[in-house]
């Protein structure tokens, strides 16, 4: 029998425990594409597809057989996927930033962020030297994502990702993440470590498996990048992600500013449509230098940016509230989580942790 036929035989045999006789082996050489085109939409057939996709991408047969046949549908993650909103208030529909900040930039997060910063100071300096990313931003993202490692999620990733792929709203994405999770197992990550959010984010940085494969980093120099149990590895991995997203060293993410009543907002509208989450980027103005913003009457309320630094403006709560001038580093944070409220909160929390 072919590999895929053997696997189907394993599934069929497992399902027939207690019956009078085992079914005959299924002599099938179907590929994942053939399974996808069939009219059989059963869960067992879908697991055959996942096994085929894994084989096509070089996952070891032993990994497939140890982890795929016993998968069961997780109805809870399917329900969460069905009810997940497709647009958020932070993208520009409704909502205000001020109450969001009160909930997400708390005294507890600030104080615990400062304590963790002190605890990991030497390691953060090494990570900064290697990646050029502001350590307070790393600490902030860690705090926002997992409350400094205390809430990383307990959902089995393989079960969640296979169920979400079976449901089908974003099948290609979740199938790719499922295979990436198997590849992590191939690299020695124990299945028990692959737990996280219902949507598949895992570890201290809350990476999807494909991102963990590509960007997890060794932060403590022991030769292994463990984003599930090693805090410095998690922080270094966040730094690797932001550098990969275009982080510019020695540059603030942004600064709070006041905007004058005379500001011609139509003149600063960006005419560029972003290919990714355009509703989020639509709230950002076109790029101007800090010198040009000053000439328009936009005034920093604290620290400033160099005159030549390019920045875009966002007024999340309208013309009469705190606005922000945002550098390219803000866009790197948006790449981590494409929400203006999230990215501003990361910046504000980072500044509070650093005492800026």
The answer to whether position 8 is within a domain reads yes
Q: What angle do CA 258, 316, 288 make, to 5 degrees?
A: 60
Residue 149 Rama label (left phi>0; alpha psi -120 to 50; beta) = left
The answer to whether position 142 is within a domain reads no
The answer to whether position 173 is within a domain reads no
Classified as helix, coil or strand, 269 is strand
Confidence at residue 20, expressed as pLDDT on a 0 to 100 scale: 39
| pLDDT > 70 in the chain, percent | 86
Question: How is residue 254 written in tokens?
Answer: 């942004």
- Domain span at residue 17? 1-70
Tell me which of 70, 104, 123 is where a domain ends: 70
**Contact by Cβ (8 Å): 146, 200:** no
Decide if pLDDT at 140 tops 50. Answer: yes
Tell me which of 55, 70, 85 is where a domain ends: 70
Q: Percent helix, strand, coil in the chain (nearest 5)?
A: 50, 5, 40
The answer to whether position 30 is within a domain reads yes
Confidence at residue 41, expressed as pLDDT on a 0 to 100 scale: 85
Tokens 């124990």 locate to: 190
Q: Among 6-15, 269-278, 347-356, whose mean pLDDT is lowest?
A: 6-15
Tell me which of 54, 70, 86 is where a domain ends: 70
Confidence at residue 176, expressed as pLDDT on a 0 to 100 scale: 98
Classified as helix, coil or strand, 196 is strand
Residue 223 Rama label (left phi>0; alpha psi -120 to 50; beta) = left
Confidence at residue 84, expressed as pLDDT on a 0 to 100 scale: 73
Distance of CA 328 to the CA centre of its chain: 19
pLDDT bucket at 34, cuts 50 / 70 / 90: low
Dihedral of the alpha carbons of 33, 55, 206, 192, in degrees to the nearest 10:
130
Residues whose CB is less than 8 angstroms from the CB of residue 348 and which lie 6 or more positions away in sequence, other chains included: 101, 105
The answer to whether position 249 is within a domain reads no
DSSP codes of every residue in 276-342: S-HHHHTTSB--EEHHHHHHTT-EESS----TT-EEEEE-TT-TTS-EEEE-HHHHHHHHHS--HHH
The answer to whether position 5 is within a domain reads yes
CA gap 107, 353 in Å, rounded: 10
pLDDT bucket at 4, cuts 50 / 70 / 90: very low
Q: What angle do CA 120, 126, 127 make, to 5 degrees?
A: 85
The answer to whether position 54 is within a domain reads yes
Q: What is the count of structural domains for the chain?
A: 2
The answer to whether position 27 is within a domain reads yes
Q: What strands lie across the sheet with 310-314, from one edge to the other?
A: 288-289, 310-314, 323-326, 254-258, 299-300
Per residue in 112-123, pLDDT (tens digit) is 999 999 999 999
């Amino acid at each position: 029998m072919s590999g895929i036929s053997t696997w189907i035989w394993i599934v069929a045999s497992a399902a027939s425990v207690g019956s009078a006789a085992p079914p005959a082996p299924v002599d099938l050489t179907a590929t994942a594409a053939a399974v996808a085109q069939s009219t059989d939409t059963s869960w067992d057939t879908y697991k055959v597809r996942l096994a085929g996709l894994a084989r096509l991408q070089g996952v070891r047969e032993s990994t497939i057989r140890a982890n795929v046949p016993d998968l069961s549908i997780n109805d809870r993650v399917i329900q969460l996927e069905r009810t997940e909103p497709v647009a958020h208030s932070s993208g520009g529909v409704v909502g205000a930033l001020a109450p969001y900040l009160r909930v997400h930039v708390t005294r507890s997060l600030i104080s615990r962020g400062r304590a963790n910063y002190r605890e990991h100071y030497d390691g953060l300096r090494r990570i900064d030297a290697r990646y050029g990313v502001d350590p307070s931003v790393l600490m902030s993202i860690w705090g926002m994502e997992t409350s400094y490692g205390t809430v990383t999620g307990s959902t089995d990733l393989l079960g969640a990702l296979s169920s979400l792929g079976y449901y089908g709203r974003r099948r290609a994405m979740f199938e790719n993440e499922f295979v990436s999770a198997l590849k992590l197992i191939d690299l020695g990550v124990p299945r028990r470590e692959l737990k996280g959010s219902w949507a598949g984010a895992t570890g201290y940085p809350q990476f999807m498996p494909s991102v963990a494969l590509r960007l997890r980093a060794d932060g403590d120099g022991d030769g292994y990048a463990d984003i599930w149990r090693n805090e410095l590895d998690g922080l270094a991995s966040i730094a690797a992600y932001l550098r990969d997203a275009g982080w510019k060293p020695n540059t603030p993410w942004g600064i709070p500013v006041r905007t004058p009543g005379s500001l011609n907002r139509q003149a600063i509208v960006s005419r560029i449509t972003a290919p990714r989450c355009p509703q989020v980027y639509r709230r950002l103005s076109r790029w101007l230098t800090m010198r040009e913003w000053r000439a328009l009457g936009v005034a920093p309320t604290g620290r400033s940016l160099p005159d030549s630094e390019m920045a875009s403006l966002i007024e999340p709560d309208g013309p009469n509230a705190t606005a922000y001038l945002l550098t390219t580093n803000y866009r790197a944070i948006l790449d981590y989580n494409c929400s203006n409220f999230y990215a501003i909160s990361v910046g504000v929390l980072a500044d509070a942790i650093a005492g800026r």
